[in-house]
Amino acid sequence: MQAREHFRRAVCETPFHARTSALNQLNLWHRWRDHSVADAYFDVGMEYNAIRNSCAVFDLSPMTKHLITGPDALAYMNRLVTRDVAKIKPGRVGYCLWCDDAGQVVDDGTIFHLREGVYRLCSQERQLDWLLCSALGFDVKVVEETNEVAGLAVQGPTSCAVLKRFGLAGIETMTPFGLRTYPFENTELMVSRTGYTGDLGYELWINPDQALRLWDRLFTSGHDHGIRAIGTLALEMSRVEAGFIQAGVDFLPADRAVRVDRTRSPFELDLGRLVDFGKPNFTGRRALWAEKQRGSRYRLVRLDVEGNKPAKDAYIYDPQRKNIGVVTSSMWSPAAKASIALASVQMPWGKSGEELFAEIFYQKELKWNRFMARCRVIDTAFYDPARRRLTPAPDL
Amino acid sequence: MTERLPVVIIGAGHNGLVCAAYLARAGRRVLVLEAGTRIGGAAITREFALGYKVSAVAHLLHLLDPTIARELALAGHGLSYAKTALRTVALSMQGEPLIISGSEILGNGISAADRSAFGLYHARMQKFSRFIARQHGRVPPRLAFSSWRDALPAAALGVDLRRLGKRGMREFLRVATMNIYDVLEDTFENPLLKGALALDGVLGAKLGPRSGNTVYGALYRNSGSLDGQGGVLALPRGGMGAVSDALASAARAAGVEIRCGSTVSQVIVKDGRATGVRLKQGTDIGAECVVSNADPRTTLLQLLGARHLEAEFARRVQHLRIAGNAAKLHLALRAEPEFRGVRPDQLGERLLIAPDMAYVESAFNPAKYGEFSAQPVFEITLPSLHDPSLAPAGQHVLSAIVQYAPYDLKGGWARCKSAFLSAIMAVLEQYAPGIGGLVLHTELLTPEDLEQQFHMAGGHWHHGELALDQFMMLRPVPGAAQYAMPVDGLYLCGAGCHPGGGVMGSAGRNAARVILGKR
Amino acid sequence: MKRHDVIVIGAGHNGLANAAFLAKSGLKVLVLEANPYIGGATVSRELYPHWTYSNCSYVCGLLRPEIYRSLELARHGLQIVPYGGGVTFTRDGDILGGYLDKEVKRREIARHSPRDADAYMRYSRDVMRQCRLIRTLLMRTPPDPSSLKWRDIREMIHLGGEFAKLGEAGIHDTMRFYMLSIADYLNEYFESDLVKATFAGSGIIGTALGVQSPGTAYVLLHHYMGDVDGQMGAWGFARGGMGAVSKALAAALQAHGGEIKVGAGVERVLVRRGRACGVALANGDEHRAHVIVSNVDPKRTFLKLFDASDLQPEVLRLARNFKIRGSSGKLNIALDGLPDFPALGAGNPLISGDMHFLDSLERYERAYDDWKNGTWSKDPYLDLLIPSVTDPSMAPPGKHMMSVFVQYVPPLVHGREWTDADREAFKQTVFDQIARYSPNFRSLVLHAEVRTPRELEAEVGLTEGNIFQGELTFDQLFFNRPFPGYAQYRGPVRGLYMCGSGTHPGGGVMAAPGANAAREILHDLRRESTVPEGWSDD
């Protein structure tokens, strides 16, 4: 097929498609940009429980990946993102944000420091234009490699055990945000202790040619540890429980914003800890410094919502019933047994422990009800199991 | 007590010197570092052949801010004029040229309609030029206001606009973005007149008469004034270098130190602040603040480095339209040349080869494709007629701006320069038969030469296209139009800032005011 | 002699929309049309048996949905069908397909430049920002910045508010956007010449400017600011050809009691004691009304329909200087079947989209140079569509209708009138351009209508055959359109109004000028407005 014939298939398949499609009993698919990924395979609740109870496998191949190399790679990365990349040593991964000149968040992602001076940046949105624009004046090479690296998230309490059984010797000694490579079928398997579930978990990265072998061996290894393929719906539940934000949901990427007042700064996403004014110049620095002096406009808060109704798209009110914000993500958390929500509220609202109200609409058997639910601002994740951080990782 | 660090100014061009003089007069210690062996930048008199001197880049003085001349007492520092109120002589192949002198046009074959139309046109353009000139002396307004004080400059602009009167304002808002071709076609009949006036709109720009923005170009060019007269052209005695010499003298008198042969290779940044400069020789010089008279791209991307800027800002700087299209021709002539139909007493005026607008437009066409004009347009002066010091007795120098000569020429200037020179001489020969035989020495400076010899990125003598997408609060780029750069302690003071090119000095003066905290 | 409240000169889409809103207010309205059919440049004609020719305007994306809904055009039979994407053919046999699906489109751009595929997002965002700003102005009357009237000041404040919403950086971007050439604008986003060439077309359609001429970035906006069902920048066909738009507008007018008279060319606007009071027809009839509205272009209105002594010299000067240049032509071709475009590949959905054949900015600019030199482009820009692929009512089953917009085409050839030989040579130039990419095209041609600016002027009355009733440059936009001081739809003579594309917001089958003029007329008559306000996009 000539290259230009690509239009005949609007959506591409990930390197794991042969397996994921065989397992997808519901035939529920979701379009993750260029690729089909499963929304759910057999039952969202059961899939969610695999994350919190055993071992869940999620196909994250469509994740955008860029490889950054060259003599100025570190200097470049440090100008790009708001945190100090010099502190991410080779073999480590770091969560980061990058901003536009106005200090508004363009995207969040993870930096994989593969080898001295070689970085992989994983992000939700495509960023080649922004990354190349930022490369002006730096001796670096930036290449998009989304389709050159297949990825699986392996998450849950038994994930370490599965990978051990798989043959990854010493995997339990890897600390969170660690990164290692293992030989696999004449190629290299990269494993990072990272994830989007807020649980013990790993991400596996491999050449797409070996993707199916990886899948098969992984599922064989995990057979006795409750391994399950999960879709985006279950993953979404765990990430809200963990209090992680998502581009396009909890904030609008600044480089996509048509309406300029809709974007958020790192401080406004409660990620001020990722802004390091002590390091060299970075994009957004001046604006963020000014914001720090002047104060922010918004705050992203975690809300513990009274009752058992999810506060979907709810307006948030202050005790005087003035509208001060809106819920960006919400759900009933099976782990916390609470209705939880992430919300963006106007400053100075949203201090820890503050009581606010969410206007919830819900229906039972087509009868719609509205009620003002009390919400409490909490400053920890809704669900944060100790195993997530333990090293050596628990081997259940 | 440690001595206060100097303000370091990179480049002793006329704007750098003006800025230096004002800062020193306000009590600052000022050190000007010039890469060349002499001061002046692009306002310089240079011996291009033994015994023959010309103003090497800018060759006519028409924009020098009279406030600066007065405040810095340039006359007292030796600035005088060999000739003022130069008239414009539009050369014709057919015979008698047309002469523009102030608000009058002289010459045969000009209709009464054109004569009266010219008076009105001249008056209207003068009025609009004065409006533009009023903005030159001001720091461009910010467009986002956090207090009413911030809004004052923008309000002042609005008031000036209103002062044009209802009709004037309406007409200004109509023609400001227009192309000069349409305006001239609507106003005049005589092709020679239209050609000559059109040239004012396109000189130095990558624009043809039919391109929008050219009315602005013409207004800008005529926005200077001398002795209260608007749009006056003058030749300084001793060439353009004399202006720089006077400025340097004024600056030194105020206590400025000027060091030539000191090439700045880098602006030193510490903790997000420009703290000094590094010289090519390796020495560092600490500075209270650093002011660059170099063009914005060189300053920000080369001397400072994009890494000290933020990404979007750096992209804007990278996209500056800064490629030059004008070349400079210098001829040493063994005798006075003869131009068709030009009387000897008219030879010392400003001579134009732009016989009609179609000719100018056709000259422009190749530039769009990276080719030089096969039939270029010229602005010619013979300064030695007024200033014998420039050439040996009885001999002369000819200085001409010739365009279009695109910076990024297809095939490269190294290979094509001689072909361009032949094309130039062929056209010149048509208008001045026999001139080729008088030539003793020739110098042709292409934009590439201008870039190399005068440190102007793109070889653009305005340090960037003078067009409405790069003017006022957009010059050089939004966010840096108020002379202060987004790195603390770094300022621009050159033609790349508002108001732009031409030997005017306003950018230097405005920058000094910002540095001194005056608005 | 007959009396009406309002006489509208010209039954173009703006004249009809204007009349319909006035009739809706209860006024007695008469529309006079010189041609034996209505629509002006918004027509469907059967020039070859069983084929429908949208022989002037050919696509519909700008028609304001507020007007559509307010005049119940759907009830009056109008149906807009969106069509699919666009494609640029390259000389080396490849394509750049603007597929409807945004991921497929991205992959397609990435095939030519991965960076540009991402930069396209930034480009879309920035153009969309400009669209949002301008869309708030479409259904409003421009303020006169030189006026101190409360209405103007209020409108200036509103405008300032809209600008302020953009933030300082946004204002700067907007100022630059209005001043830049489309080539320079695209250079700030893209590296691939093919990608730039693909987007450049919208910057020059209908405009006597080249891609390197400052001001053409705005023209691009003019083609992007429409929408079909909220899909901003989308274009569609009026089912049954563009005449369906005028037919629906006429039906709306008639439903409100308005009258239309065809074959009634107005020769002169009658002025008494400084007030327009009626019109005289070519056949000698006279019609009287308090309000005369001209849908005719400004140049023709003031220089042909008025006795010069009835106007101030300044108005005559402005009218004479009004820039309304012929720069485009059109071929409408009945085809015996669907032509092959081998580069597309069988079954490619882009066969229903816009097809373009200039793959570099240099080719665009050279095409413009030809026009400057007084001839049609030898390597012309074509916007080629086969509406019958989307709208089965345009041609018999299995047969097709092809609409080819051509640029640049001068109003005069080297300063003289077009001859039959010129027209034939022009046709062959266009045929050659198409045949280069569609080998069997020529063999399918059953009938071809060739329209140069000359035909457009003679038939529709547009001076020089300018499709926008005046160039879309800043000196003729917004408060400068058509002339400074006359941008609020009121003419220089009391009782005279202008409602054509020569007024704000300009050309395209938008109907906003007609609607805005109606609002001003009703304001002057102290009647409640029947004209809808623009819809918010927030």
Q: What is the pLDDT of residue A244?
A: 95
Which helix (H) or strand (E) is B457 found in, with range?
none
Q: Which of C 470-489 lie inside 8 A of B, CB atoms?
A: 473-475, 479-480, 483-485
- Cα separation, A220 vs A222, in Å, equals 5
**CA–CA distance, B398 with C400 (Å, rounded to integer):** 67
**Residue A315 near residue A325 (C-beta atoms within 8 A):** yes
In SS3 terms, B81-123 reads as EEECCCCEEECCCCCCCEEEECCEEECCCCCHHHHHHHHHHHH
**pLDDT tops 60 at residue B128:** yes
pLDDT above 60 (res A1): no
CB-count exposure of residue C122 (10 Å: 0-12, 13-18, 19+) = middle
Q: In this complex, do B306 and A285 lie within 8 Å of one another by their Cβ atoms?
A: no
Q: Are B311 and A283 an interchain contact pair (Cβ–Cβ within 8 Å)?
A: yes
The full length of chain A comes to: 396
| Neighboring chain A residues of B272 at a CB cutoff of 8 Å | 281, 285
* Residue C538 pLDDT level (bands cut at 50, 70, 90): confident
**CB–CB of C146 and B144 under 8 A?**
no
A chain contacts of residue C349, beta-carbon cutoff 8 Å: 7
Q: Centre a 10 Å sphere on the Cβ of residue B148 and count the other Cβ atoms it contains.
A: 8
Chain A contact for B305 (CB, 8 A cutoff): yes
Cβ atoms < 10 Å from Cβ of A306: 19
Backbone φ, ψ for residue B96 (5° rounding): -65, 135
**CA atoms within 13 Å, Cβ hemisphere of C344:** 24
Answer yes or no: are the C-beta atoms of A202 and A155 closer than 8 Å.
Answer: yes
| pLDDT tens-digit series, residues B299-308 | 999 999 999 9
User: In this complex, do B315 and A136 lie within 8 Å of one another by their Cβ atoms?
Assistant: yes
Q: Do C99 and A256 touch (CB under 8 A)?
A: no
Residues pairing with B276 in the sheet: B268, B286
How many whole angstroms separate alpha carbon C507 and alpha carbon C501?
5
Helix (H) or strand (E) holding C346: none
In chain C, residues 491-520 whose CB comes closer than 8 Å to chain A: none
Vertex B468: Cα angle to B464 and B469 (nearest 5): 70
List the beta bridge partners of residue B396.
B333
What's the CA gap between C385 and C394, in Å, rounded?
12
Mean pLDDT of chain C: 95
Set of chain C residues whose Cβ sits within 8 Å of the Cβ of B207: 214
Query: Would you state the pLDDT for residue B75?
Result: 95
Give CA–CA dist C229/C233, Å, rounded: 10
Structure tokens at C396: 């018999």
Residues of A in contact with B314 (CB under 8 A): 133, 136-137
- The partner residue sitting opposite C484, judged by closest CB among B142, B174, B474, is B174
For B203-227, write each residue's pLDDT tens digit.
Answer: 999 999 999 999 999 999 988 876 6
Closest to A104 (Cα-Cα) out of A283, A338, A302: A283
pLDDT at B1 over 50: no
Which helix or strand (DSSP H or E) is residue C396 part of? none
Residues of A in contact with C166 (CB under 8 A): 260
Q: How far is C425 from chain A (nearest CA, A)?
A: 35
Helices (H) and strands (E) in chain C, counts: 18, 20
* Chain C residues 404-443 with a CB less than 8 Å from chain A: none
Contact B311 A281 (CB under 8 A): no
**Mutating which of C125, C159, C175 best tests the B interface, going by the most B Cβ atoms within 10 A?**
C175
User: Which chain A residue lies closest to C93 (C-alpha atoms)?
Assistant: A4
B158-194 residue pLDDT tens: 899 999 999 999 999 999 999 999 999 999 999 999 9
Judged against a pLDDT cut of 50, whether residue C256 lies above it is answered with: yes
Contact check, Cβ <8 Å, C104/A7? yes
Tens digit of each residue's pLDDT (9 = 90 or more) over A124-159:
889 999 999 999 999 999 999 999 999 999 999 999
Closest chain A residue to B305, measured at CA: A137
**Spatial separation of the C-alpha atoms in residues C451 and C426, rounded to whole Å:** 10
CA distance C132 to A281: 34
Three-state SS letters, chain A: CCHHHHHHCCCECCCCHHHHHHHCCCCEEEEECCEEEEEECCCHHHHHHHHHHCEEEEECCCCEEEEEECCCHHHHHHHHECCCHHHCCCCEEEEEEEECCCCCEEEEEEEEEEECCEEEEEECCCCHHHHHHHCCCCCCEEEECHHHCEEEEEECCCHHHHHHHHCCCCHHHCCCCEEEEEEECCEEEEEECCCCCCCCEEEEEECHHHHHHHHHHHHHHHHHHCEEECCHHHHHHHHHHHCCCCECCCECCHHHCCCHHHCCCCHHHCCHHHCCCCCCCCCCHHHHHHHHHHCCCEEEEEEEECCCCCCCCCEEECCCCCEEEEEEEEEEECCCCEEEEEEEEECCCCCCCCEEEEEEEEEECCEEEEEEEEEEEECCCCCCCHHHCCCCCCCC
CB B13 within 8 A of CB B505: no
Average pLDDT on C142-170 reads 91
CB C472 within 8 A of CB C295: no
Q: What is the DSSP letter of C344?
A: T
- The reply to whether C105 touches chain A by the CB within 8 Å rule is no
CA distance B104 to B90: 13
B178/C473 Cβ within 8 A: yes
Residue C1 has pLDDT above 80, yes or no: no
Q: Give the DSSP per-residue string, C194-230.
A: HHHHHHHGGGTTT-S--TTSTTHHHHHHHHHS-EETT
* Range from A48-52, B228-232, C233-237 carrying the lowest mean pLDDT: B228-232
Taking one residue from B and the other from C, the number of pairs with CB-CB distance under 8 angstroms is 95
Is any Cβ of chain B less than 8 angstroms from the Cβ of C14?
Answer: no
Distance CA C538, CA C132 (A): 9
Which of B52, B62, B56, B22 has the alpha carbon at shortest distance from B36? B56
**Cis peptide bond N-terminal to C65, omega within 30:** no
Residues 6+ apart with CB under 8 A from C92: none
Q: Which of B469, B472, B475, B482 to mutate to test the interface with C (most CBs of C within 10 A)?
A: B469
Burial class, B345, CB count within 10 angstroms (exposed 0-12 / middle 13-18 / buried 19+): exposed
Whether B302 contacts chain A with CB within 8 A: no
Asked if residue B132 lies in contact with residue B468, where contact means CB atoms within 8 angstroms, the answer is no
Does residue A339 have a pLDDT over 80? yes
Proportion of chain C above pLDDT 70, given as a percent: 99
Length of chain B: 519
**A176-221 pLDDT, tens per residue?**
999 999 999 999 999 999 999 999 999 999 999 999 999 999 999 9
For residue A146, which residues of chain C lie inside 8 Å, CB to CB? Answer: none
Q: What percent of chain B has pLDDT over 70?
A: 98
Shortest CA distance from A82: residue in chain B: B310
In whole angstroms, what is the distance from residue C27 CA to residue C258 CA?
8
Q: Which residue of C has its CA nearest to B481?
A: C172
Dig out the tokens for C244 from the structure.
């369906």
pLDDT in tens, C327-357: 999 999 999 999 999 999 999 999 999 999 9
Residue of B304, B312, B319 to mutate, testing the A interface (most A Cβ within 10 Å of its Cβ): B312
pLDDT for the residue C232:
67
Chain C residue numbers with beta carbons less than 8 Å from the beta carbon of A130 are 118
Q: Do A136 and B314 touch (CB under 8 A)?
A: yes
- Bridge pairing between strands B104-106 and B45-49: unpaired
In three-state secondary structure terms, C289 is strand
For residue B193, what are the β-bridge partners? none
A34 CB within 8 Å of a chain C CB: yes
Contact A129 C108 (CB under 8 A): no
Residue type, C129: R
Q: What is the Cα–Cα distance from C21 to C26, expressed in whole angstroms?
A: 9
Average pLDDT over residues B490-516: 95
Radius of gyration of chain B (CA): 22
Q: Select the more confidently predicted residue: C230 or B274.
A: B274
Instruction: Spell out which residues of chain A touch residue B302, defining contact as CB-CB under 8 Å.
Output: none
Q: Does C161 lie at the interface with A, CB-CB under 8 angstroms?
A: no
Reported confidence tier of residue C230, pLDDT bands at 50, 70, 90: low
Cβ <8 Å between B272 and A281: yes
Query: How many CB contacts within 8 angstroms connect chain A with chain C?
Result: 67
The reply to whether C188 touches chain A by the CB within 8 Å rule is no
C51-53 vs C45-48, strand pairing mode:
antiparallel
Contact C118 A130 (CB under 8 A): yes
Q: Is the pLDDT of residue B21 over 80?
A: yes
Q: What's the pLDDT at A156?
A: 97
Indicate the residue type of B56.
A
Nearest-angstrom CA–CA distance, A380 and A389:
15
> Residue A3: what pLDDT?
86
Say if the Cβ atoms of B365 and C369 lie within 8 Å: yes
Q: Which amino acid, one-letter code, is at A73?
A: A
Are residues C484 and B170, on separate chains, in Cβ contact within 8 Å?
yes
Label each residue of C398-436 as H, E or C: CCEEEEEEEECCCCCECCECCCHHHHHHHHHHHHHHHHC
Q: How far apart are CA A62 and CA A79, in angstroms?
A: 26
Packed helices A232-242 and A44-53: angle between N→C axes, nearest 10 degrees: 50
Rounded Cα–Cα distance for residues C459 and C43 (Å): 12
Give me the residue from C172, C214, C475 closest to B174, CB to CB. Answer: C475
- Rounded to 5 degrees, what are φ and ψ at C125? -60, -45
In B163-190, which ranges are continuous DSSP H helix?
165-175, 180-187
User: pLDDT tens for residues B33-69?
Assistant: 999 999 999 999 999 999 999 999 999 998 889 999 9
